[in-house]
Amino acid sequence: LTTTRPSLDEALHAVGHTPLPPYIKHYAGDEELYQTVYSRHESSAAAPTAGLHFTPELIERLRAKGIEWHTVELEVGLDTFRIVDEDDPEKHTIHTEFYTVPQETVDACDAAHARGNRVIAVGTTSVRSLESAYDRELGRLRARNREATSLYILPGYTFGVVDALVTNFHVPRSTLMMLVSAFSTRENIMAAYKHAIESDYRLLSFGDAMFIE
């Protein structure tokens, strides 16, 4: 028996399921909860997990305190879960993803820096999008519309846009661990993980987050 659907999207929704990280087994929760409250398009193979901590109420509380909220897009691929197997991380080939940074977000970041304020990224995906959109020749952020990026951020990288970061505790030997180590230092990140483990913090997608500045 073959059942037809009016569109490919409806067919995918009928037979597909929410893409979850390989370390989440037998998930029985509401799949609608495994995405950010500000998601708009179906194009990623994984949720930007740092954003799972934010509710509409929390975002409004931040705005009430004068904190602006602007968005970017990164079409996260399945390769985000791939572990860095090479002994030399620089030999690892990172996946290519598509990202969008609207002019409104560019203007907001420029205005924040002009006022002496900080640009705080929610999640490593936001960091990759903003840093990929940074034009190092011009020394400024530029709007991008679904451009490809294979930006691989390792310790020693100089950040052009992001001043602080909200992120979860990630899988060891992942490109995400490399990124947060570049943003802080490897020593600081290892100390943070040691504290998290000793204090029974929850790691990975449904775990706790940290604020790095």
3-state secondary structure of 113: helix
Q: Residue 90: pLDDT above 60?
A: yes
Question: Which residue(s) pair with 168 in the sheet?
Answer: 209
Q: Residue 82: pLDDT above 80?
A: no
3-state secondary structure of 73: strand
Task: List pLDDT tens digits, range 134-181.
Answer: 999 999 999 999 999 999 999 999 999 999 999 999 888 888 899 999
Q: Does 1 fall in a domain?
A: no
Q: Does 179 fall in a domain?
A: yes
pTM: 0.87
Q: Does 2 fall in a domain?
A: no
Number of domains comprising the chain: 1
**What is the amino acid identity at position 147?**
E
Q: Does 147 fall in a domain?
A: yes
Angle CA 43–49–50, to nearest 5: 125
Q: Does 3 fall in a domain?
A: no
Check residue 174 and report its DSSP letter: B
Quote the domain boundaries for residue 148.
8-212
CATH code: domain of residue 52: 3.40.1780.10
Task: List pLDDT tens digits, range 34-77.
Answer: 788 888 877 776 778 899 999 999 999 999 999 999 999 988 76
* Residue 178 tokens, joined: 């490399």
